A = this chain, B = another copy of it.
Amino acid sequence: MKDGPDIARIATLIGDPARANILTALMTGKALTARELAREAGVGASTTSTHLGRLVEGRLVAVTRQGRHRYHRLAGPEVANVLEALMGLAAGQGHLRHRPGPREDALRAARVCYNHLAGTAGTALYDALAGRGWTRVSDHEVMLSDAGAVAMEAFEIDVTALRKARSPLCRPCLDWSERRTHLAGSLGRALLAEMETRGWARRVPDSRAVTITPAGRDGLRGTFGVRL
């Protein structure tokens, strides 16, 4: 009886209520930080850390370091399979779960990631910059081209001042809702700030969501060729 695959080991991992909540939260496909997961799970930060450690060790969850964050996501489709089967069984013999995600759409469209723009709008902007040759992407690095510097200056961003700062100008940032990349770094922050001063973007209070105004929509298309 010792020869079977350790389905008990995996089931035990899922069996803790806190961990089950964590995994359920990750079922959306989004990658979440430990803190967000702690809130979802309803336990403290330290407890969550321990749980995440077990889940990662058990290959149910994969983690990606990103600055001071650690983004957690399900380790693979097989894991999602198991969770889905479990939810189907549980739903069939008890109470349903909806979890439609009411404000999910807004977050998916545009949100702040620290101080830069993420979401669909963020990745679109990132792609547009590269498409115009204003940035050059090479294997985990992003550089601002000369033409890009000129364009940014024209957009009222003081690139030379940003270059003097210690923090990197351009940095790729993996966007988990889109599973693609958007622009971080001081330039990313400056871009979002300028968009806010121009009235192109407005932060939603008490949320990471960002609203792109009609003016912002037009401006992004005219200035960067972004189609939203």
In the complex, whether A150 has a CB less than 8 A from a CB of chain B is no
Complex interface residues of chain A between 1 and 38 (CB less than 8 A to chain B): 1-17, 19-21, 23-24
Query: Max chain B CB contacts within 10 Å: which of A13, A21, A86, A96?
Result: A86
Query: Max chain B CB contacts within 10 Å: which of A5, A20, A40, A91?
Result: A5
Complex interface residues of chain A between 60 and 109 (CB less than 8 A to chain B): 78-79, 81-97, 99
In the complex, whether A214 has a CB less than 8 A from a CB of chain B is no
Interface size class of A (residues with CB under 8 A): 35 or more
A8 vs B43: C-alpha distance when bound (angstroms): 15
A85 touches B88 (CB 8 A): no
Answer whether A5 and B96 are a contact pair too, CB < 8 Å, given A11-B15, A20-B11.
Answer: yes
In the complex, whether A42 has a CB less than 8 A from a CB of chain B is yes
Give A23's nearest chain B residue, CB to CB: B7
Query: Max chain B CB contacts within 10 Å: which of A6, A14, A16, A87?
Result: A6
- Residues of chain B within 8 A (CB-CB) of A96 are 5
Answer whether A97 and B21 are a contact pair too, CB < 8 Å, given A12-B15, A88-B81, A89-B78.
Answer: no
B14 touches A90 (CB 8 A): no
B81 touches A7 (CB 8 A): no
In the complex, whether A226 has a CB less than 8 A from a CB of chain B is no
In the complex, whether A59 has a CB less than 8 A from a CB of chain B is yes
Give A86's nearest chain B residue, CB to CB: B7
A188 vs B87: C-alpha distance when bound (angstroms): 44
Give A12's nearest chain B residue, CB to CB: B15
A82 touches B79 (CB 8 A): no
CB distance from A7 to the nearest CB of B (A): 4
- Residues of chain B within 8 A (CB-CB) of A95 are 3, 5
CB distance from A4 to the nearest CB of B (A): 4
What are 16 sample pairs from A and B whose C-beta atoms fall under 8 A apart? A3-B97, A4-B21, A5-B90, A5-B91, A5-B94, A7-B20, A7-B23, A7-B83, A7-B87, A7-B90, A11-B12, A13-B15, A15-B15, A78-B92, A81-B89, A82-B89
- A-side residues, CB < 8 A to B, are 1-17, 19-21, 23-24, 40-42, 59, 78-79, 81-97, 99
